[in-house]
Structure 1
Amino acid sequence: MATEPDNLVLSLLRKIDQRTERMAEDLQDLKVRVTSVEEGLAGVNRRLDRIEGRVDRIERRLEIADVH
């Protein structure tokens, strides 16, 4: 009977280890995906900055820019 509690504890520890490993894999996947989203957002911001510069130039050429 002494082996049964040991096996139960060992079984529970193995399940915890498997779950922890899956969580670590999921976390790594999320980190990769977040990095991809951040890079995409940086690209969008660069595009918006360029567009803003172009709009400013167009407004100046058309003399419709706000004077501050």
Structure 2
Amino acid sequence: MSDKVDNLVLEHLRSIRGTLSDHGERLGRIELRLSAMEQTLGSLYTLSGSDRETLSSLARRIEQRLDLASSDA
């Protein structure tokens, strides 16, 4: 009977090991995807700042062109 219990415990431990391995692989893929999302978000923030500067510059040029703002600024 002791051999059966030992074998059952080993079988469960092997199953747990396999499950942990699967979870580790999934976690690795999730970390990779999260990293890609972080990089994309950082790029979007950079582009957003660049767009704001471009729009501000364009607004200044339009104001100067229409004589809505003083040329000292």
TM-score interval for Structure 1 and Structure 2 normalised by the shorter chain: 0.7 to 0.9
Aligned to 1:54: 54
TM-score by length of 2: 0.81
Aligned Cα RMSD in Å?
A: 1.5
Gaps of 5+ in 2: none
| Number of positions where the alignment pairs a residue of Structure 1 with one of Structure 2 | 65
Q: How far apart are the structure 1 equivalents of 2:26 and 2:19? A: 10
Comparing both chains, which one has the higher relative contact order based on Cα–Cα distances under 8 Å and sequence gaps of 6 or more?
1
Q: How far apart are the structure 2 equivalents of 1:13 and 1:32? A: 29
TM-score by length of 1: 0.87
Structure 1 SS opposite 2:15: helix
Q: After the TM superposition, list the runs of 4 or more consecutive aligned residues in structure 1 that deviate by more than 2 angstroms.
A: none
